[in-house]
């Protein structure tokens, strides 16, 4: 199968299962809030993000190993793949044991973290332990998904993890609505999820990579090469850790800050918006993650000029998608939230605007995609600066402005790093081009967005109860027509689409 076909297969799988999981998540959170209460929903959101901090122990090893697997898969070098796979396996087992110890120690502090909560202690502890087990399981068994990703078969990961997640959410919703033991059944299904995904993923793995079970390789040669790879992988991993830390705190840290400055109910409301916000960012991230291995494969076999032309084409495609998502979110988020959760769960327009800005800023990730494909992570001071800017501004403004202040801090840090530093860095290290070549499409796109915002504002009614359907449809129609005309008029955009159609 060609690179383009793999990319289409991976991206289309990501889109289909994203829609299924997002829809099921919306119904699940509504049922959870209505039948179990906002307190438990807020607890679930807070603990999910708290446990996510343990994932920092992974240090970005997955991305580092994926980079080293591009060339062996391209050249069908099974010995190299075997060596790297065994390194991956050993590292993830060590990380798993480390997380097990840290997670166990965290249990002693739960009573202090949630001392202001009125929830029974058994609810807090049982929820934490179930969510923690689900995270822990992936390090001992599901590291194999990295092999599929590097081999341009991320669609298998998506089928297994997102497909089973969809079924899990549907069954959990039914249990919560129709059973008086809804919470207990939710916990049981939550803990069953990693077990089932592991079993199914292992079936696919044994089918596609039988050579990784081969015991006949030269062990002395394997050991010597393993030592060389391990040193290089750890070097890349140390660099990538800082990038992973900044990106993680940017998303997962915000609900924790919201909890510190507000309460569980505000966290629950914020979590509802976060479902939509992270849903949009996740689908775009999945699409571009799905093509990262294809880009890495392309880099290995093509000239520098060919790679730069691909970069320009993907940049325009990304801007087309990002501008559509951010504008739609701004105009339709509160309308959707009112239908989904009710008018008591709405944020003011200023908060929604800041969230829409976050979507736009956070999804301009073309530079990160290519830097990852090149294995270039040495700009470790950039994520440190991003982290400090985000933490300082979010903490100060969050105290005075609450959620809006936290969002301002996040957006300022994104502007400084993604829009100022990253373009400079990738052009200095890889493309050797003028920086203005990167900013021209961005400036044009921002001008287009401001124009479309003004145009949509003229037709969009603020009182959603009077005529919501005509105004909402008009926004989508205007966006679709203008976006299509503007981008299809550009050669690079059309050239990129021709790769797939």
User: DSSP secondary-structure letter at 126?
Assistant: H
Sign of the alpha-carbon dihedral angle for 467, 468, 472, 473? negative
- Exposure string (b/e) for 9-27, b if CB count within 10 Å is 16 or more? bbbebbbebbebbbebbbb
Q: What is the pLDDT of residue 478?
A: 72
d(CA 442, CA 293): 25
**How large is the C-alpha radius of gyration of the chain?**
23
Concatenate the DSSP letters of all residues of 339-403 into one string.
HHT-GGGPPPHHHHHHHHHHHHHHH--HHHHHHHHHT----THHHHHHHHHHHHHHHHHHHHHTH
Burial of 217 (C-beta count, 10 Å sphere; 0-12/13-18/19+): middle
d(CA 170, CA 20): 10
Considering only CA atoms, which of 251, 245, 246 is closest in space to residue 275?
Answer: 251
Q: What is the pLDDT of residue 172?
A: 92
* 8 A C-beta contact, residue 256 and residue 49: yes
* 8 A C-beta contact, residue 275 and residue 263: no
pLDDT 10s per residue in the chain (501 long)?
555 666 677 777 777 887 888 889 888 888 888 888 877 877 887 787 777 767 665 556 777 777 778 778 877 888 888 888 888 888 888 888 888 888 888 888 888 877 767 777 888 888 889 888 888 887 787 778 888 888 888 888 888 998 999 999 999 999 999 888 888 998 899 899 988 999 999 999 988 888 887 665 555 555 556 666 677 777 777 777 777 777 666 666 666 676 666 666 777 777 788 878 877 777 777 777 667 667 777 777 777 788 888 888 888 888 888 888 888 888 888 888 888 878 888 888 888 889 898 888 888 878 888 887 777 778 888 888 888 888 888 888 888 888 888 889 889 988 888 888 888 888 888 888 888 887 887 787 778 777 777 776 666 544 444 545 556 667 677 777 777 777 777 777 677 666 655
Helix (H, G, I), strand (E, B) or coil at 215: coil
How many angstroms separate the Cα of 250 from the Cα of each of 53, 189, 283, 318?
Answer: 12, 29, 18, 21
Mutual orientation of helices 304-340 and 349-363 as an angle, nearest 10°?
Answer: 160
How many angstroms separate the Cα of 223 from the Cα of each of 86, 165, 228, 374?
Answer: 10, 38, 9, 26
* 8 A C-beta contact, residue 318 and residue 365: yes
Helix (H, G, I), strand (E, B) or coil at 217: coil
Q: What is the pLDDT of residue 465?
A: 47
d(CA 297, CA 16): 25
Q: What is the pLDDT of residue 188?
A: 92
Sign of the alpha-carbon dihedral angle for 445, 447, 449, 452? negative
Q: What is the pLDDT of residue 147?
A: 87
Mutual orientation of helices 61-74 and 264-301 as an angle, nearest 10°?
Answer: 30
Sign of the alpha-carbon dihedral angle for 203, 204, 208, 211? negative
d(CA 469, CA 454): 19
* 8 A C-beta contact, residue 257 and residue 398: yes
C-alpha of 461 from chain center = 32
* 8 A C-beta contact, residue 114 and residue 260: no
* 8 A C-beta contact, residue 271 and residue 6: no
* 8 A C-beta contact, residue 301 and residue 382: no
């Amino acid at each position: 199968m060609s690179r383009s076909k793999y990319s289409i297969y991976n991206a289309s799988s990501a889109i289909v299962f994203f829609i299924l999981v997002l829809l099921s998540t919306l119904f699940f959170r509504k049922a959870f809030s209505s039948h179990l209460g906002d307190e438990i929903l807020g607890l679930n959101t807070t603990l999910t993000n708290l446990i996510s901090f343990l994932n920092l122990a992974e240090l970005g090893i997955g991305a580092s190993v994926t980079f080293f697997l591009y060339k062996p898969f391209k050249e069908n070098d099974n010995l190299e793949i075997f060596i790297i796979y065994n390194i991956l396996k050993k590292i993830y087992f060590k990380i798993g044991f480390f997380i097990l110890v840290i997670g166990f120690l965290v249990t002693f502090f739960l009573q202090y973290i949630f001392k202001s909560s009125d929830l029974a202690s058994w609810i807090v502890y049982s929820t934490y332990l179930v969510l923690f087990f689900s995270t822990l399981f992936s390090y001992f068994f599901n590291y194999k998904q990295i092999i599929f990703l590097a081999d341009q078969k991320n669609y298998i990961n998506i089928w297994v993890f997102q497909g089973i997640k969809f079924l899990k959410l549907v069954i959990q919703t039914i249990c919560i609505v129709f059973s008086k033991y809804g919470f207990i059944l939710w916990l049981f299904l939550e803990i069953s999820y990693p077990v089932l995904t592991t079993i199914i993923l292992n079936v696919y793995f044994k089918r596609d990579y039988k050579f990784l079970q081969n015991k006949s390789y030269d062990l002395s040669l394997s050991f010597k090469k393993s030592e060389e790879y391990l040193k290089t992988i750890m070097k890349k991993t140390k660099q990538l850790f800082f990038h992973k830390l900044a990106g993680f705190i940017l998303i997962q840290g915000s609900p924790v800050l919201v909890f510190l400055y507000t309460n569980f109910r505000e966290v629950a409301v914020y979590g509802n918006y976060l479902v939509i916000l992270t849903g949009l960012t996740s689908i775009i991230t999945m699409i571009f993650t799905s093509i990262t291995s294809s880009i890495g494969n392309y880099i290995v076999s093509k000239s520098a000029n060919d790679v730069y032309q691909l970069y320009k084409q993907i940049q325009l495609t990304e801007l087309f998608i990002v501008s559509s998502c951010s504008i739609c979110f701004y105009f339709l988020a509160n309308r959707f939230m009112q239908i989904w959760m009710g008018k008591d769960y709405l944020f003011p327009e200023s908060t929604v605007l800041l969230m829409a800005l976050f979507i736009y800023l956070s999804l301009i990730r073309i530079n990160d995609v290519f830097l990852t494909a090149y294995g270039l992570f040495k700009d470790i001071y950039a994520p440190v600066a991003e982290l400090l800017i985000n933490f300082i501004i979010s903490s100060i403004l969050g105290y005075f402005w609450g959620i809006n202040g936290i969002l301002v801090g996040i957006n300022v840090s994104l502007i400084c790093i993604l829009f100022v530093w990253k373009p400079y860095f990738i052009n200095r290290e890889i493309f050797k081009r003028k920086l203005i070549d990167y900013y021209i499409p961005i400036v044009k796109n921002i001008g287009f967005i401001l124009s479309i915002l003004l145009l949509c504002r003229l037709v969009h009614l603020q009182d959603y109860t009077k005529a919501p359907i005509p105004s909402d449809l008009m926004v989508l129609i205007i966006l679709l027509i203008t976006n299509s005309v503007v981008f299809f008029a550009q050669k690079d955009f059309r050239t990129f689409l021709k790769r797939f159609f």
